[in-house]
Homo-oligomer: A and B are copies of this chain.
Amino acid sequence: MSLPSATTAAKSSRTSASPRSFGPVELDKTSAQYGFIGKTPKPGWRGTDIAGTLAREFSCPVGFDTDVNAAALAEHRWGAARDVNSLVYLTIGTGIGGGVLVDGVPIHGLMHPEVGHIYPRRHPLDLEFGGVCPFHGDCLEGVAAGPAIIARTGASLERLDESHPQWEIEADYLGQLCAQLVMTVSPQRIVMGGGVMSQERLLPLIRPRLSHWLGGYIDRSECLDGGDRYVVAPELGDRAGVLGALVLAMDAAASAGKC
């Protein structure tokens, strides 16, 4: 079978494996569903046992987390968030996901954050569009992920002229996402990756929208216009996810070594 991602790492004569997966996934080690994919809209993956498949295949410690938590761990260890301990890694692509690290550790809690499914205020130029999320219609993922852009305009972002209103709409929705994250998880940095963000002209449009939605309440220069060290591009590019699986595998091996 083809797994979303699997990486092995050797450390102290130990080998470990560490898949990372799109969500929702079960991360509670006390659950019978640990390591399974939950109610994803992605066809064919619902109910797949990711961690168990690897554990049966290899005789080694297995780490497991979401793809975005893995990318957050990699950007924290080697990338754009090396100098902070609290960060969000966002991916804006076929869906919208976010991994949240607090004191360097991914937060799980009830399950894990699913930041793509918050509800933004609708942009005035976008009120007619119903959104494409099968669960929520016009949640953030439903109006700002890649498929929403195509559903609205018939083209992906890079094919739209820079004067096309889609750029402004997209930047506003993603600025709202950043603002909601500042208000709820208060990260020291937000790293924005994924296919949609590979359009480099988008990031400078998002920062002033974050500032707009904060409304002058959060008195931190990091968040304000021109605060280009607060909302940043990944430094590890497309490799963040795979390198994050390596972090998980190294941590799993190190934990096993302590037993």
Residues of B within 8 A of A112 (CB): 186
Encoded as 1 (CB less than 8 Å from any B CB) or 0, chain A from 181 to 196 comes to 1111111100000000
Residue-wise interface mask of A (109-124) relative to B, using a CB-CB cutoff of 8 A (1 in contact, 0 not): 1111111011111000
| A152: interface (CB < 8 Å) | no
Complex CA gap A48/B70 in Å reads 41
Say whether, besides A38-B219, A121-B121, A135-B217, A188 and B110 are in contact (CB < 8 Å).
Answer: yes
How many positions in chain A have a CB within 8 Å of any CB in the partner chain?
46
Which of A120, A181, A187, A223 has most chain B Cβ within 10 Å?
A: A181
Number of copies: 2
Given known pairs A102-B102, A107-B86, A110-B222, the reply for A215 and B135 (CB within 8 Å) is yes
Contact residue among B108, B109, B117, B186 (Cβ-Cβ distance under 8 Å from A108): B186
Given contacts A109-B102, A111-B220, A217-B117, contact A181 B182 (CB under 8 A): no
Q: Mark A166-208, 1 if CB is under 8 A from B, else 0.
A: 0000000000100111111111100000000000000000000
Verify if A39 is at the interface (C-beta below 8 Å from B): yes
CB <8 Å contact, B118 and A121 = no
Residues of B within 8 A of A130 (CB): none
Rounded to whole angstroms, the CA-CA distance of A103 and B98 in the bound complex is 19
Quick one: given A107-B86, A113-B186, A184-B185, are A119 and B219 in contact (CB under 8 Å)? no
State whether A111 touches B186 (Cβ < 8 A). yes
Q: Within 8 Å of chain B (Cβ to Cβ): is A3?
A: no
Residues of chain B contacted by A217 (CB below 8 angstroms): 24, 39, 114, 117, 135-136
Q: A110-B222, A114-B218, A219-B38 are in contact. Are A100 and B185 (CB under 8 A)?
A: yes
Cβ of A43 < 8 Å from any Cβ of B? no
Which positions in A face B, CB cutoff 8 Å? 24, 38-39, 86, 98, 100, 102-103, 105, 107-115, 117-121, 135-136, 139, 176, 179-188, 213, 215-220, 222-223
